[in-house]
Amino acid sequence: MRTIVQRVASASVEVEGRTVSEIGPGLLVLVGVHESDVESDADYICRKVLNMRLFPNDKTGKAWDQNVMQRNYGVLLVSQFTLYGILKGNKPDFHVAMPPERAKPFYASLVERFRKAYNPESVKDGVFGAMMKVNLINDGPVTMQLDSSQSSKPIDFHQWRQGENGVFFLWAFM
């Protein structure tokens, strides 16, 4: 799963000329779902986005000190399969994005995961599969890319190998 996280003063989504979601200060999160994503990818993204310290602490003056939940700000999630676009020549190819019939329920479960982990009223989303106009006022600007493939994976330390000089060494698998 791949996300683009933007700190915003405000953001909204329009579909067919009608505003369907909007937030004040907070995070706009563009979400791309990979064909091989599983629940642990969604867990990682939810945890990291909600805990990213992208906001200053007004009391201490420290920059990069508070997360969206500490500020009681909004989160606007927008599905965007084009985050997994690959250019073949000049034409984009989206074959590594999860197909829509699987991605729609997966994305819906991600939205619910955010709502359960934070505050249901503070988490908004766009309309899956719709042509949307996403309006935002960047704050900073602050933009982060987050990919669930960056998550730490358990290491299997059970494999030993013998090097050319006869010395055994530990071969770690991720």
Taking a C-beta distance cutoff of 8 angstroms, is the pair 84, 99 a contact? no
CA–CA distance, 97 with 119 (Å, rounded to integer): 29
- Is 19:136 a contact under the CB 8 Å cutoff? no
In whole angstroms, what is the distance from residue 138 CA to residue 130 CA?
A: 23
Cβ of 76: how many Cβ atoms within 10 Å?
A: 25
82 assigned to active site: yes
3, 60, 82, 143: the active-site residue: 82
Q: What are phi and psi of 76, to 5 degrees?
A: -115, 115
Token digits of residue 52: 């990213």
**Residues marked as catalytic:** 82
